[in-house]
Amino acid sequence: MADEPDRPGASPSAPLPGRPVRGSATGRPIMALFDLLGRRWTLRIIWELAQEPAATFRELQQRCDGVSSSVLAQRLAELDQAAIVRRADRGYTLTPDGRTLCAELMRLETWADRWAARTAPAAE
């Protein structure tokens, strides 16, 4: 992984395409995305910002029940470095790429619902 962040204040550990990440020494884009999304609280933060963007740090922390301020700050820095979240005048919001990612994740929800229906135990 890179020793220095690409931008001031950004986390040097943010998984990005082209960098070695968990599960891939080559830094394949899909592996970088899986590494980023697999980190604690990342999906919840994205979900909350998709539901109601432009939350302040404290508002977002309240909406993400139980996330510590240090973990939230780390995840927001990683998501900012990955160009999925940005800090706006009124707080945090999804970038256009972040909104596109949410739309793709909703396709996974559709798949998961079909999967759940097929794998649900039969009623007695």
Instruction: Give the pLDDT confidence of 36-62 residue by residue, as tens digits.
Output: 999 999 999 999 999 988 789 999 999
Question: Is a pLDDT exceeding 70 seen at residue 16?
Answer: yes
CATH code for the domain of 70: 1.10.10.10
pTM of the model: 0.82
Residue 5 lies in a domain: no
Residue 20 lies in a domain: no
Beta-bridge mates of residue 41: none
Q: Specify burial of residue 73 (Cβ count, 10 A radius: 0-12, 13-18, 19+).
A: middle
Cα(66)–Cα(89) distance, integer angstroms: 25
Question: Is a pLDDT exceeding 50 seen at residue 10?
Answer: no
- Which regions of the chain does DSSP assign to beta strands (E)? 85-88, 91-94
Structure tokens given for 113: 């619902």
Residue 37 lies in a domain: yes
| 102 backbone dihedrals φ, ψ, rounded to 5° | -60, -40
64-87: average pLDDT: 95
Residue 51 lies in a domain: yes
Q: What is the pLDDT of residue 89?
A: 86
Q: What is the pLDDT of residue 93?
A: 95
Range of the domain at 105: 29-119
Instruction: Give the pLDDT confidence of 19-37 residue by residue, as tens digits.
Output: 999 888 998 999 999 999 9
Domain count, the chain: 1
